Chain A
Amino acid sequence: MIGLTPLPEPFDVRKFARTAQGSLRGDFDLAAFEVAPLPRDVLRMLAVLAHLEGATMAHLRNVLVTPTHKDARVTAFLVSWAFEKFWIADALRAVAAAVPGGELSGGIPGAPPRRGRGPVRRAIVGVVQGRSVVGAHLSLGLVDDWVLRAAYERVAAEAASAALSDVVDRILDLKARHTNFFGDEVQRRLSASKPAARLTRRELRRTALPLGSAVLEPADCAFFARFTFDGERGEALAAAIQRDIRKLPGMNERTSRVVRGAITVGSAS
């Protein structure tokens, strides 16, 4: 079930920073992947996920040119968040590389295409939007986590590999802390500010999700959507994300529907 876990206490950013997880390579038995190869589509998903998880610096750029960088608690979180995601991407690449013929080459561009608003536009818009933009950025982080969690669930189910399930479980455990931080902040900020909720509705409708998808080729974006949201299970996951967006303070039916439409483009869901 994708959803918010209400926290009794505010998220402890210092504790998160102190316990941030570095390299995961020592935690897995990579030899298992040599003897039991993974399906081709799963390998392609691992490549796509590695790129999405590793695209943190591009996202930080978009976020830090706006007033979000003023919030020291948020930036402190993002520093360790980027660190953990770096090593999650590394683990995904390590798994793929351990599978014979599974190097992550095909389908991913060497230099990412430019899509969406550039930093100058974002900075200018950020000046106008003021501090409401922090809530919008955190909401994007939250929904991004939900979308990736859905993808990981499909990867684990499709691969039917105990070794890969271990890797996915470990990654999802790490990501659960990120989701908790985003969820906690979003609840608080969107309930407290109507402008923040309004801006969030707009940002959710216009931002390409998952967040790193600007670094992917369009064909890989479509593949990601199909793999994750096709079929009965995929449709249920997409519906759950739509429902959870709708439940956030200040969100409406239209926003949740537009996001669902955007993340499932190219899928039958």
Chain B
Amino acid sequence: MAFDIDRYTATSVSVHWDDLDLATFREHPLPERSLRTLRYMADVEYHTVCYTRDLLTTPSHREADVSAFMTMWNREEFWHGEALAAVLAVHDITVDYDALKASRLKLGWKDRLDPIKQSVLGSLVGTDFVAVHMSWGAANEWSAITAYQRMAELEEHPVLAELLRRIARQEARHVAFYTSQARARLAASTKAQKITRFALSRFWAPVGSSISSTDDVRHVMTHLMSGPEGRRAAHRVDESISGLPGLDGLTIVQDALDGLGVPA
């Protein structure tokens, strides 16, 4: 089904949590390992704007719908970061702009070269490359929803569960945008299918891998995606991704978990 961009932009709001009693975390604080996962999630959400940079270096920024979507998407993700930072703040963990800046400064040369590499690739394969970005975006948003759902299940904390549910509901609209774009572009070109299949199976890594240490990525994946329940959730994400035209049989999430040594 086509994504209604006007409806999306007209109804895009920042996630709200004013009505949630975050003070309950003082009486029932989250355990250390969950806070580490939440911190990771907040970093990823705040960093979304930098991912936009990679999207924008390819031909996709010329299209008005994509541009409109990205404007709203960026802002929604920024507010997810703020919401998670509010929960962390109750636990006396401060996520301020200076701290975020410090972690971005650590990225170094690889980060500086990424947009150049992406853009060169993008202009080599032209508009077909947009399909890679859209499929990549869909895979990331599906993983994000799954991660928030798993976190809510594992913590059994009513306030946290409600906040994560609100965030996940917005991520579901992002999935709708990315999949409608990816589906149309993949269906229109077997070259796009081949490039996307190659890029996802070769380069995809869990969201946040490019901005966090491997230790942190392993911690989060083990926390949320290990054991039979976690693996079932990973399997469901893979099923969604492999349902896109030309991507059948891909198991990128489960492969990534195996690669990180996350116990099944």
* Chain A interface residues (CB < 8 Å from chain B): 13-14, 17, 20, 22-23, 54, 56-58, 60-61, 64-65, 67, 69-73, 75-76, 78-80, 82-83, 86, 111-112, 118-120, 123-124, 126-127
A71 and B56 form a contact (CB under 8 A): no
Within 8 A of A (CB), among B41-77: 46, 49-50, 52-53, 56-57, 61-62, 67-68, 70-72, 74-75
Residues of B contacting A79 in the complex (Cβ-Cβ under 8 angstroms) = 49, 74-75, 78
Also in contact, A23 and B10, with CB within 8 A (given A61-B53, A82-B71): yes
**Nearest opposing residue in chain A for B104, CB measure:** A70
Residues of A contacting B12 in the complex (Cβ-Cβ under 8 angstroms) = 22
Residues of A contacting B46 in the complex (Cβ-Cβ under 8 angstroms) = 72, 76
A82 to B56, CA, bound (A): 14
Closest 7 CB pairs of A and B: A61-B56, A64-B53, A72-B100, A72-B97, A73-B97, A65-B115, A119-B57
Contact of A82 among B13, B62, B74 (CB under 8 A): B74
A sample of 27 cross-chain residue pairs with beta-carbon separation below 8 angstroms, ordered by A number, consists of A17-B78, A22-B13, A57-B61, A58-B56, A58-B61, A60-B49, A60-B53, A61-B53, A61-B56, A61-B57, A61-B61, A64-B49, A64-B50, A64-B53, A64-B56, A65-B53, A69-B49, A69-B50, A70-B104, A73-B97, A75-B50, A76-B46, A82-B71, A86-B9, A86-B68, A120-B115, A127-B112
> How many A-B pairs fall under 8 Å by CB?
103
Also in contact, A120 and B116, with CB within 8 A (given A70-B101, A76-B78): yes
Asked if B4 is at the interface of the complex by the 8 Å CB criterion, the answer is: no
B115 and A72 form a contact (CB under 8 A): no
A150 to B16, CA, bound (A): 37
Asked if B119 is at the interface of the complex by the 8 Å CB criterion, the answer is: yes
Asked if B188 is at the interface of the complex by the 8 Å CB criterion, the answer is: no
Also in contact, A80 and B75, with CB within 8 A (given A23-B10, A124-B116): yes
Minimal beta-carbon separation of B35 from chain A (angstroms): 20
Minimal beta-carbon separation of B237 from chain A (angstroms): 27
Asked if B105 is at the interface of the complex by the 8 Å CB criterion, the answer is: yes
Asked if B98 is at the interface of the complex by the 8 Å CB criterion, the answer is: yes
Asked if B20 is at the interface of the complex by the 8 Å CB criterion, the answer is: no
Residues of A contacting B23 in the complex (Cβ-Cβ under 8 angstroms) = none
Residues of B contacting A73 in the complex (Cβ-Cβ under 8 angstroms) = 97-98, 101
A112 to B56, CA, bound (A): 14
**Nearest opposing residue in chain A for B81, CB measure:** A76
B71 and A83 form a contact (CB under 8 A): yes
Minimal beta-carbon separation of B79 from chain A (angstroms): 8
Asked if B89 is at the interface of the complex by the 8 Å CB criterion, the answer is: no
Asked if B120 is at the interface of the complex by the 8 Å CB criterion, the answer is: yes
